[in-house]
């Protein structure tokens, strides 16, 4: 049996609830271990948390503020950070404990395949597990999605307008400081020249567990990120985008993961299809071919990388 799959970056709360439930069930049936569900703002974070409570076997929540939108008001910003503080308390020390445990465990390729205990084998595929009644919020897996507004800045420039770049950098710095204080990984939206600004902040606060999702950037920035041990992840566009394929050949095998960024749609062989976490199987298969690996071994590597980075069992 092939190793399991991990979707290290998905906006699960943006799907219709029934669609999300059906996808998660199908994902587990097809070998899915977990998804890291990121958030856009406070309301998005609340929905993400609800999904993590409802589907504890598969959903790992991350909370933050996506940069490709107007900055939050001061009141909105304080409310989000207060909400995150309450949930970060249950996560402190997880990374160190998971690293110690990982040293004692066998690699995924050698271990006994996990059972998808949350899946109900019934005629209703949209059901996974009964919602949890626990009063304690689920463990906060990461800070994310946070970063800098590269695409919004381009659009503003085309309109002859400007963005408050300093405001976005200040907000990102606050998220980086939060991740450092609570020893949490951080999921970043930072591409091209914005990645260097993000690297500056990560270095300032000594944050090592940084995940640049769907990354694109210069060779100089790539080398800098590799030297720092920062992670990147590949979406289904790995199958057809030359820039991403070249990056996949270059970036070390120990520092990469698979993702979908769903519900963002893709082109090529995925044109017209709803983005599904099971598309990570296509990512694994293509990455294996690019690296000259057996597909099962590639799955095991990408899964283990995500587990270790996000401190998941």
Q: pTM (2 decimals)?
A: 0.86
Our count of domains for the chain comes to: 1
Instruction: Say if residue 261 carries a ligand binding annotation.
Output: yes
CA distance 304 to 103: 12
Q: Is residue 282 part of a domain?
A: yes
**Strand residues in the chain grouped as ranges (E):** 5-10, 32-37, 59-63, 142-147, 186-189, 210-212, 231-234, 256-258
Burial of residue 18 (CB within 10 Å: 0-12, 13-18, 19+) is exposed
CATH of the domain at 116: 3.20.20.140
Distance CA 171, CA 80 (A): 12
Measure the CA dihedral 255/256/259/265, to 10°.
130
Q: What is the pLDDT of residue 164?
A: 85
289 occurs within a structural domain: yes
Strand partners, 44: none
Q: Is residue 49 part of a domain?
A: yes
Residue 165 annotated as binding site: no
Read off the pLDDT of residues 247-280 as tens digits, 9 standing for 90 and up: 999 999 999 999 999 999 999 999 999 999 999 9
Q: Is the dihedral of CA 300, 228, 238, 45 positive or negative?
A: positive
Confidence band of 91 (pLDDT split at 50, 70, 90): low
The mean pLDDT of 135-147, rounded to a whole number, is 91
Q: Lowest-confidence range among 29-43, 83-97, 166-180?
A: 83-97
The Cα 244–Cα 93 span in angstroms is 34
Which tens digit of pLDDT belongs to each residue from 165-213? 999 999 999 999 999 999 999 999 999 999 999 999 999 999 999 999 9
Q: Is 11 annotated as belonging to a binding site?
A: yes
Structural domain includes residue 177: no
Residue 5 CB: number of other CB atoms within 10 A? 25
| 65 is a domain residue | yes
Cα(233)–Cα(24) distance, integer angstroms: 20
Residue 66 annotated in ligand binding: no
Angle at 277 between CA 309 and CA 19, to 5 degrees: 130
The residue whose two tokens read 């405001």 is 167
User: 284 vs 51, 146, 274, 312, CA distance in Å?
Assistant: 26, 25, 19, 19
Q: What is the pLDDT of residue 89?
A: 82
9 annotated binding-site participant: yes
Helix (H) / strand (E) element for 286: namely helix 280-291
Residue 165 in domain = no
Coil, helix or strand at residue 234: strand
In a domain, 226, yes or no: no
Q: Which range marks the domain in which residue 106 is found?
A: 5-145+233-309
200 is in an annotated binding site: no
Reported as a single tens digit per residue, the pLDDT across 64-88 is 999 999 999 999 999 999 999 999 9
List Cβ neighbours of 77 (8 Å cut-off, separation of 6 or more): 65, 171
Residue 217 lies in a domain: no
Cis before 155? omega within 30: no
């Amino acid at each position: 049996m092939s190793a399991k799959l991990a979707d290290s970056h998905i906006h699960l709360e943006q799907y219709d609830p029934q669609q999300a439930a059906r996808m998660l069930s199908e994902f587990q049936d097809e070998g899915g271990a977990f998804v890291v569900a990121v958030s856009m703002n406070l309301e998005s974070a609340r929905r993400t948390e609800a999904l993590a409570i409802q589907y504890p076997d598969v959903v790992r929540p991350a909370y933050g503020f996506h940069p490709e939108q107007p900055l939050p008001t001061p009141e909105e910003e304080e409310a989000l950070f207060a909400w995150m503080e309450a949930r970060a308390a249950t996560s402190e020390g997880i990374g160190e404990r998971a690293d110690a445990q990982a040293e004692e465990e066998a690699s995924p390729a050698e271990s006994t395949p996990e059972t998808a205990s949350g899946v109900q084998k019934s005629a209703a595929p949209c059901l996974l597990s009964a919602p949890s009644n626990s009063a304690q919020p689920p463990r906060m897996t990461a800070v994310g999605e946070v970063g800098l507004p590269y695409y919004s800045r381009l659009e503003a420039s085309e309109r002859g307008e400007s963005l408050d770049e300093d405001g976005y950098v200040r907000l990102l710095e606050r998220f980086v400081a939060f991740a450092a204080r609570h020893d949490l990984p951080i999921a970043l939206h930072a591409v091209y020249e914005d990645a260097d600004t993000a690297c500056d902040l990560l270095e300032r606060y000594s944050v090592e567990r940084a995940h640049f999702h769907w990354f694109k950037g210069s060779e100089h920035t790539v080398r800098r990120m590799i030297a720092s041990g920062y992670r990147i992840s590949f979406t289904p566009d790995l199958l057809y985008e030359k820039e991403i394929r070249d990056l996949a050949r270059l970036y070390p095998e120990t520092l990469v993961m698979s993702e979908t960024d769903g519900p963002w749609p893709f082109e090529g062989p995925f044109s017209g299809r709803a983005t599904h976490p099971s598309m990570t199987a296509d990512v694994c298969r293509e990455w294996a071919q690019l690296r000259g690996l057996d597909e099962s071994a590639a799955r095991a590597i990408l899964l283990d990388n995500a587990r270790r980075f996000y401190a998941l069992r």
